[in-house]
Copies of this chain bind each other. A is one copy, B any other.
Amino acid sequence: MNSGVNETPALTFGPFETSVGFLLRIAQLTVSERTFAELNRRDLPIGEFTILMAIGLNPGVRQGVLAGRLRITGSNMTKLVRLLENRGMIRRLVPPHDRRAIALELTEKGRAHVEEHQDLVLRAVSRAVDCLEAQEQAVLLKLLRKLADWPPSSPRPPHGELVEP
């Protein structure tokens, strides 16, 4: 706990008070704290859920591509993917025309999991920022996207039949 209910005395951070980078960090901590408060009770790690949802929306996505986009290193993605596979949430498949790669798919269980919890997660994520008007959120979103170069361009290469690794 952050030493209970602080009286938050006036405190200056000088040039950082007008720094986008600094406030970005503070805001991100604040929002993820709020989101967690709603989801932790249900033992629903937001990171794992995000990956499952992304796989559901992009069946056959290669794990390296997903890792790059979510800013997770390859080695850490391996661990996450292994975990989700062990829980029966996803399948790892080898595209026949590039046998180095691993393509990911949801299992029925994974699909059911996403289906079951999606609304709850989206509500929690939404409530965490509901101190902003809808229009303010739209403006903020646009600026954050520009800052993060999101989404990046260039098309996704197709893939053929898939087999077990």
Q: How far is the CA of A151 from the CA of B16 in the complex (A)?
A: 12
Contact A154 B7 (CB under 8 A): yes
Contact B58 A11 (CB under 8 A): yes
* Minimum C-beta distance from A156 to chain B (A): 3
How would residues 145 to 156 of chain A score, 1 for a CB under 8 Å from any chain B CB and 0 otherwise? 111111111111
The reply on A37 being an interface residue by CB < 8 A is no
Please tell me how many copies of the chain the complex holds. 2
User: Taking A13-B53, A28-B28 as contacts, is the C-beta distance between A143 and B154 under 8 angstroms?
Assistant: no
Chain B residues, CB < 8 A from A16: 50, 53, 125
Q: How far is the CA of A25 from the CA of B24 in the complex (A)?
A: 9
Chain B residues, CB < 8 A from A152: 8
SS class, residues of chain A in contact with chain B: helix
Which of A18, A26, A65, A152 has the largest count of B CB atoms less than 10 A from its CB?
A26
The reply on A40 being an interface residue by CB < 8 A is no
The reply on A86 being an interface residue by CB < 8 A is no
Contact B2 A68 (CB under 8 A): yes
Q: How far is the CA of A137 from the CA of B143 in the complex (A)?
A: 8
Interface residues of A (CB under 8 A from B): 1-3, 6-33, 35, 50, 53-54, 57-58, 61, 64-74, 118, 122, 125-126, 128-129, 131-132, 136-137, 139-141, 143-157
